Structure 1
Amino acid sequence: MNSYLRHSLLTSSSVQKNYAHRLPAACDLSLVSGPCIWEKEINNALLGCDTGYFSSYPLPSQDKELIEQLADWEGVPSDGIWLTPGADAAIEFVLGRVLDPGDTCGILIPNFPRFTIVAQSLPGVKISYFNDISEMPTDLTIAVICTPNNPSTKEIPESQIRSHIMKNPKVLFVIDGVFDWTASYNLSTLCYDYPNLIVLKSFSKIGLAGLRLGYIITNRDNCRDMQTALSPFFVPPMVQKIGKAIVEHLERIEEFKQLLDDRFHKVQQRLGDRVERYSSVPFYLLKTECTSSEAVEQLFQKGISVVDGIFFQGLAKNTVRVSIGTPDQNEQLFRMLAELGI
């Protein structure tokens, strides 16, 4: 049967196929979110929902109070914040509105595969990968940087980011800051100083992946341009209401961060120098005794899913990415690694 997809979407990329058709497992350590510590805030927000949250189009479509709250938390003007249905959608919106046929999207690797998938899907767009920010090509339209990095967990020093943004004023820097909640410095405030910068954020990485709430931070003009030709109604009012309840208690991020660090400490005690984690992100890298693909397959047969490192271009061989799970999930992983000898 013929496909009606445009040619740029008819890719045989194993990255794209893996991302789109991830198989479920009883013990899922592949998807990264972190523990949900927000039960009280969510329940209180839901109790205040009436039928109006479902029966009417929201006007204004973006909750001004939520945006003001986020602006206060991030330390940026509110007219540079735009709510999105998670960071995945923000990636599609930004790349899709900036890149023309013939443009080059530069991606610092390793990086979150979604950027490659979206760039590959845009007709005539070229991709240029670079391994170090100091090696960034100068002929880019967009430069994608992830810090703290997914999957390496490493942070790029703020001074390096500032230096390269200043040296390349014609390049739009898109920083994947979804793990910025636990970073050592605030990426968002860089948008004060540089007009060629967009930072992507998401509630997913603080234990709220199912909420599907994210936002971009940039300057007012970029914020307006990114909304061109889009429907205004894509973040449900109920989602924004829960977002407000969470933002009112974001001081609990330190509690979230400490919980992750405590759980990882126990992982490190069991697995030693086989694991790497350089920042307080909800995942770590695990070195395998066999190929990463063999490890992923064997673990999956035992009901445990992790992410094969081959899907992150530039990541070291024989490495898998593992979400920091519950104590029970982590124990299951320890047992299976020992049993399988991987």
Structure 2
Amino acid sequence: MEATKRMAVLVGCNYPNTKYELHGCINDVMAMRETLMNRFGFEESNIQVLTDEPGSLLMPTGANIKCSLGRMVGKAKSGDVLFFHYSGHGTRVPSMKHGNFSRQDEAIVPCDFNLITDIDFRRLVNRLPKGTSFTMISDSCHSGGLIDKEKEQIGPSTIINDEKLQLRCTPDAAKAKTIPFQSILQHLSLHTNINTTDIGTHLLESFGADASLKFQLDSRELDTIDSLKPDAGILLSGCQANESSADMNPDNAAGKAYGAFSNAIENVLKENPAALSNKQVVVMARGMLKKQGLGQQHPCLYCSDENAEAMFLCQNP
């Protein structure tokens, strides 16, 4: 009988030498890589890392990220544990779904601006073989709800502990991990030279079949991409869909840049060597961010009821 596998795709986008530059995203995924191997039993050969640092062997373009995730899911068998950690910018785009034209949907921003949307992550989760698990950490702005139609366990519609605590000011070292929709539209327009405010037109012109399904399918076709009940998707988001996640760049020689949510998860795991549920990890990360003066950033959990109480990355109790 084939042994179960633990596989991961880790993506860190710092956007170097651009006006959107961040500083801690690559540090986030390299720290997670060590945690996966040392605590959760992932083998180095089963962890793929994509970063946009100079000389990177595999740049985190939209196509490369989706290819890496698709290949991981394609290898999965029942019992396997799959993990995706993204640290970088997020954004929101106008909804393409029928009857929801006023809504905005969530997306991550790869280094080439080829957006990967909540629809793409829903389709990915729908491909998972029965009996697998897929845990996704997105340390990016607007990351709540990044797996379309996943059930909210901790988020804007739920009250966790002391949600009404007075918020403190965001530290000066924090930078929001977001690129506004209009800035993405302007960036893509410079490349396509097409005079339209329809972002789908620009993405399809630039990336063709590698563009998000959100822009390849019409609104009624998008309605047919349903969640499986129950499904194996587990999303730990750095913030709610209308909030920002912080990139921290300490102003001292000893300081090392990091994403606030990624760092909070790392610290929660260090302080709690025993197994924690997905719900416990998110609640503790929320508490840690509040203590650090980042009370405006509320990590969320989206998954089935069963997976909310399941152990994070299936660690044995």
TM-score (norm: length of structure 2): 0.31
Richer in helix (by share): 1
RCO greater where, 1 or 2, for CA within 8 Å and sep 6 or more?
1
Structure 1-normalised TM-score? Answer: 0.29
